[in-house]
């Protein structure tokens, strides 16, 4: 009996993982395996993690508005404590010489938020009560496509929405005492201040993506688990860094996350 042919999701995932391991970047996913729905893109995400042997230890959540967004699972091996020394020749995506970096606020889940019964939703207070700490974070991003802007949004979602790694700063258990949506942020590259300002989250509230994610996962029968990290979107856009450069994002009240390439 012949072995069962791999699914379209598995085939797409293997192409994306091959790029991580040194194959040339893809112009796009072949039409036969490219995702046509968000569910298909999510299926490819999880096949990518399975092919990499990665355990889900967090989530990237990006919102279009308070009730609609997309997410990507973060593998345990892609979450790094700050300050980090990111060895580009050992990067998860081989032959990458420039990476995008963006400052974010991340939260750690302290107790499970399991799936709710059909029709029920988590309220903001429930989700906030389950968050044990907040962190300054730097997401490192790159695309497994030759031109990430030329492929469809679904193909970008399938590619773990360009995540390469998440550099996480110190735990701040007292985050509820902070004006978390209006923290002063300072961004530096090689010691030069390139931005200083307040707030900056795309929806003006970094807790909204966590609330959305809790309900999104609940509706899929998954849920957030104690220990998961949730990163909530860029507070100052993406900047490109090359080997030898140092990047820091300092949130007043949360501290800094730093990475040297």
Q: 41 lies in a domain?
A: no
Indicate whether 65 belongs to any domain. yes
- Residue 49 belongs to a domain: no
Which tokens in the block code for residue 146?
């030759």
pLDDT at residue 4, as a whole number: 76
Q: Give the span between the Cα atoms of 168 and 49, in whole angstroms.
A: 20
The confidence score (pLDDT) of residue 92 equals 64
Inter-helix orientation angle 38-52/8-20, to 10°: 50
Q: Do residues 135 and 173 make contact, with C-beta atoms less than 8 angstroms apart?
A: no
Cβ-proximal residues to 53 (8 Å cutoff; 6+ apart), any chain: none
Distance between CA 179 and CA 177 in Å, rounded? Answer: 7
* Position 179 in a domain: yes
**Could you list the residue range(s) of the whole structural domain that residue 160 is in?**
56-260
Among 20, 163, 17, which residue's Cα sits nearest to residue 101?
Answer: 163
Residue 40 belongs to some domain of the structure:
no
Structural domain includes residue 181: yes
For every one of its 261 residues, what pLDDT tens digit does the chain have, with 9 covering 90 and above?
A: 456 789 999 999 999 999 999 999 999 999 999 999 999 999 999 999 999 998 999 999 999 887 889 999 999 999 999 999 887 655 667 778 889 999 999 999 999 999 999 989 999 999 999 999 999 999 999 999 999 999 999 999 999 999 999 999 999 999 999 999 999 999 999 999 999 999 888 888 999 999 999 999 999 999 999 999 999 999 999 999 988 999 999 999 999 999 998
Q: Report the domain count for the chain.
A: 1
Tokens of 9: 């999701």
Contact 155, 249 (CB under 8 A): no
Residues in the chain: 261
Here the CATH number for the domain that contains residue 205 is: 3.90.850.10
114 domain-assigned: yes
């Amino acid at each position: 009996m012949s072995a069962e042919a791999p699914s379209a999701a598995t085939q797409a995932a293997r192409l994306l993982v091959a790029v991580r391991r040194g194959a040339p970047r893809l112009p796009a996913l072949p039409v036969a395996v490219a995702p046509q729905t968000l569910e298909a893109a999510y299926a490819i995400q999880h096949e990518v993690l399975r092919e990499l042997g990665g355990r889900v230890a967090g989530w990237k959540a990006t919102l279009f508005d308070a009730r609609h967004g997309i997410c990507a699972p973060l593998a345990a091996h892609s979450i790094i404590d700050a300050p980090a020394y990111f060895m580009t020749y050992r990067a998860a995506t081989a032959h990458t010489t420039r990476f995008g970096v963006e400052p974010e606020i991340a939260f750690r889940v302290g107790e499970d938020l399991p799936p709710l019964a059909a029709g029920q939703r988590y309220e903001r207070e429930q989700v906030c009560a389950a968050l044990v700490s907040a962190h300054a974070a730097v997401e490192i991003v790159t695309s497994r496509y030759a031109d990430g802007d030329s492929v469809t949004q679904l193909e970008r979602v399938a590619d773990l929405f360009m995540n390469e790694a998440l550099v996480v700063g110190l735990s701040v258990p007292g985050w509820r005492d902070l004006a978390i949506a209006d923290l002063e942020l300072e961004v530096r590259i090689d010691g030069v201040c390139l931005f200083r300002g307040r707030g900056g989250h795309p929806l003006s509230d970094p807790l909204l993506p966590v609330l959305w994610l809790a309900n999104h996962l609940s509706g899929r029968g998954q849920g957030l688990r104690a220990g998961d990290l949730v990163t909530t979107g860029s507070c100052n856009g993406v900047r490109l860094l090359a080997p030898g450069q140092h990047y820091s994002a300092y949130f007043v009240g949360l501290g800094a996350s730093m990475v040297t390439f």
